[in-house]
Structure 1
Amino acid sequence: MSDFVYLASQSPRRRQLLEQLGVRYELLLPEAHEDSESLEEVRGGEAPAAYVQRVTGLKLDAAVARLKQRGLEPAPVLCSDTTVALGRTIYGKPEDAKDAARMLRELAGSTHRVLTAVAVQAGRRRLAALSDSRVTFAAMTTAQVRDYVETGEPMGKAGAYAVQGRAAAHIARIAGSYTGIMGLPLFETARLLQSAGVKTQA
């Protein structure tokens, strides 16, 4: 039984969600020289579910290597990645405000998928799960898109929006896992951690 888990994520939302489960964690973040963004490159013709699971696996490989290099105390390592998909088109993090506006225009007035893959390395065992949710955006005017982009909230977010932020005013319907859309599906994560022997208060 482990008293804590290493969280290999820079996302403050994932930290909050893990705290919601009552799980103690230590951050296991990349060094400045590690090119973690390159792990998120999409391969041609790759399906969204395959993409998000592959990227999560690569991030976990890098985190496990980091753990060994730093000579840290052994404990399970948790990694997660979220992507937004409209059909087979994958929407990652926007490059700039113009890119964010383009994504929001394309997502507005339609239903898209939010896929979050979670993986835990516990010793030699690797446990994984995939959360698949649907989000329906209302139609958005050019002014609404512009005003939302100007808040800065879309930057650094897959699909250029945060479900728990101001974008909620434009979300008409959600089907699936709200915490999965935020970036860490708590139902799946709790089960993985329990299987990995990590104490949770859930």
Structure 2
Amino acid sequence: MLKSIILASQSPRRRELMLLLNIPFSSENPQIEEELDPSLPLVKAIEKIAIDKALDVFQHHPKSIVIGSDTVVVIDDVILGKPIDNEDAIRMLDLLSGKTHKVITGVCMISDKEKVVFHSISKVTFYPLTDAMIKSYVASNLPLDKAGAYGIQDRGALFIKSISGDYYTIMGLPIAEVSRRLRLMDGGS
């Protein structure tokens, strides 16, 4: 029998992706500092935030399966998290304009029997963006809660020339891999 599943996130995009699994779940906001540990390799630091999110919620729900994740955008060795304000969003989009960047999502799935940690990397290439395009998008407030200051599922899609890798990694949760590993955690059902 499937345990209750809790998404350790209040992200509307991650909740939307979890709905694709067609199984009941709830979501809870983890109370952690989302700061990358500079002493770790980048992928491990992203996975650590996903682990911390999952563990924070799991300690209150030890009979559940808890899923935590974290996403960052990387361009030219510069890490882009969520912008702190409109000016930061403009700076990020200007950096991404006309270039290819990586989107890395780390995931931790934890139950009372096991902890599964993995990551997924996708590459995204932007068309060159004009200042007017960037300012119009930022004025919509759409980029303010997204790593790299854009959403592939909203008007940010208009900036994208190509992607390589998992689309849902870019949205913040590689849902096919989560589904596969969730079935394995639940005894293969």
Q: Does the 8 Å CA contact 1:48/1:88 hold for their aligned counterparts? A: no
- Whole-angstrom CA distance in 2 between matches of 1:3 and 1:54: 24
Which of 78, 95, 100 pairs up with 1:106?
95
- Whole-angstrom CA distance in 1 between matches of 2:132 and 2:145: 21
When the two chains are superposed, the root-mean-square deviation of aligned CA atoms in Å is 1.8
Q: Does the 8 Å CA contact 1:48/1:90 hold for their aligned counterparts? A: no
- Whole-angstrom CA distance in 1 between matches of 2:77 and 2:158: 26
Matches within 5 A, 1:50-89: 50-67=44-61, 74-89=63-78
- Secondary structure of the equivalent of 1:163? coil
- Whole-angstrom CA distance in 1 between matches of 2:163 and 2:47: 22
- Whole-angstrom CA distance in 1 between matches of 2:155 and 2:39: 32
Aligned length: 189
The TM-score, its normalising length taken from structure 1, stands at 0.87
- Whole-angstrom CA distance in 2 between matches of 1:149 and 1:199: 44
Moved over 4 A (4+): none
- Secondary structure of the equivalent of 1:116? strand
The aligned counterpart of 2:116 is: 127
* Deviation of the 1:49 alpha carbon: 1.4
What letter corresponds to residue 54 of structure 1 in structure 2? Answer: K
* Alignment deviations for residues 42-95 of structure 1 (CA, whole Å, 9 cap, x no partner): 333654312211111111121112325xxxxx2211111111111322100000
Matches within 5 A, 1:1-202: 1-30=1-30, 34=31, 36=32, 38=33, 40-44=34-38, 46-67=40-61, 74-197=63-186
Q: Does the 8 Å CA contact 2:58/2:64 hold for their aligned counterparts? A: no
The aligned counterpart of 1:71 is: none
Greater relative contact order (Cα < 8 A, sep 6+)? 1
- Whole-angstrom CA distance in 1 between matches of 2:187 and 2:82: 31
- Secondary structure of the equivalent of 1:191? helix
The TM-score, its normalising length taken from structure 2, stands at 0.93
* Alignment deviations for residues 24-51 of structure 1 (CA, whole Å, 9 cap, x no partner): 1022224xxx4x3x2x213336543122
What letter corresponds to residue 21 of structure 2 in structure 1? Answer: L
What letter corresponds to residue 191 of structure 1 in structure 2? Answer: R
Between 190-199 and 133-142, the greater mean CA deviation after superposition: 190-199
Could you tell me which runs of 5 or more consecutive residues in structure 2 were left unpaired when the two chains were aligned. Answer: none
- Whole-angstrom CA distance in 1 between matches of 2:133 and 2:90: 10
- Whole-angstrom CA distance in 2 between matches of 1:169 and 1:114: 17
**1:143–1:45 Cα change, 3 Å:** farther
